[in-house]
Amino acid sequence: MAETTLLAYCRPGFERECAQELADASGRPGTSEQGGGFVVCPAGTHAPAWRELVFARQCLPVFATVADLPRGDRLAPILRAVGERGDSYADAWVEAPDTDAGKALAPFCRSFGNALVGALRQARRLDAGAPRRLHAFFPRSDNVYLAAADVRASAPWPQGIPRLKFPRAAPSRSTLKLEEAFLVLLDDAERSRWLAPGMSAVDLGAAPGGWTWQLVRRSLRVTAIDNGPMDRALMASGLVVHLREDGFRYRPKEPVDWLVCDMVEQPRRVAALVARWLEAGWCRRTIFNLKLPMKKRYEETRLCLDLVRPAAELVRAKQLYHDREEITVFASARRLR
């Protein structure tokens, strides 16, 4: 197979949205299996990068598919396909979809991954300085997609999922969404510059403090806006001021470095609120969640992002692993003050 096919990993149940997005980006319709956790489509004239896509956790250019792998020797056909391509790789990952069926393949993926890496090393196909990573994606144990990913332009985690451990001190599990957002939506240099100790933040809909906790652990000063109670240990940090106010009516007295928002509200209403903060210069950067409707989720996503873009210099959005029926968005203001 020529390198004209894209393979995208996504959250199970969001294959349709992922396929719609890839079709818009590439100009070619894709195919998916409902609940399968992945989409395949022709690359078309434009192969979108991983960071450009909302619903794809990983987006890979496929160079070969091998079906009906013999149970007794799955390795040989894969090595032949890799050898025909002729490249060396920085690493090799064996992956399966993020589904119940894919989880059942996890032991196989671990074992086969070790065998594949060993065989590639013996064939001198592994080179730590190579620009690409080999992905062997098994939707089933007898069927594999082989892809070569640019290490710098692809998600740096197997399955496109950063594996995070819930911190016991955090007030709620929602804290993992913001931690993942910092990893996925910002790069290393941006995190270093934009999450510096002493910066200021507002957390709309903060209680009990899951998102505020992520900011405080980075020594940001936070104004938490919520009519509900905040976690006592978090308040004892001395870095949080809690105001019992309506998040939609609150206005800061002076611009802040960050606005974060995880309110259970209609997505258009949240998008319009964030756009107002950016346009007015009340915040320099923002990360917020949009709770998607049950129907027309892709259309609602596009509409909401279009509400934010006129007020923003940069917009990135992703359906994170720790999101459910929602997406998480990063935006920076056009006039950074």
> What are the beta bridge partners of residue 331?
286, 315
Q: Encoding tokens for residue 111?
A: 């074992």
DSSP strand pairing (5-9 vs 58-66): antiparallel
Q: Where are the alpha helices (DSSP H) in 157-225?
A: 175-185, 188-194, 210-216
Q: What's the CA gap between 315 and 106, in Å, rounded?
A: 35
Q: What's the CA gap between 48 and 61, in Å, rounded?
A: 10
Residues 226, 227, 233, 239: is their CA dihedral positive or negative? Answer: positive
Q: Encoding tokens for residue 127?
A: 């080179």
Would you say 286 and 328 are in contact if contact means Cβ atoms under 8 Å apart? Answer: no
For 288-304, the DSSP string reads EEEE--SS-HHHHHHHH
Specify the residue for token string 């996925």. Answer: 184
On the CB side of 54, CA atoms within 13 Å amount to 30
**How much of the chain is helix, strand and coil, in % rounded to 5?**
30, 25, 40
Would you say 19 and 39 are in contact if contact means Cβ atoms under 8 Å apart? Answer: yes
Q: What's the CA gap between 259 and 224, in Å, rounded?
A: 10
DSSP strand pairing (256-261 vs 283-291): parallel
Question: Is 291 among the catalytic positions?
Answer: yes
The closest alpha carbon to 74, from 119, 106, 36, belongs to 119
Q: What's the CA gap between 65 and 273, in Å, rounded?
A: 46
Residues in the chain: 337
Select which of 165, 177, 291, 295 is catalytic.
291
Active site residues per annotation: 291
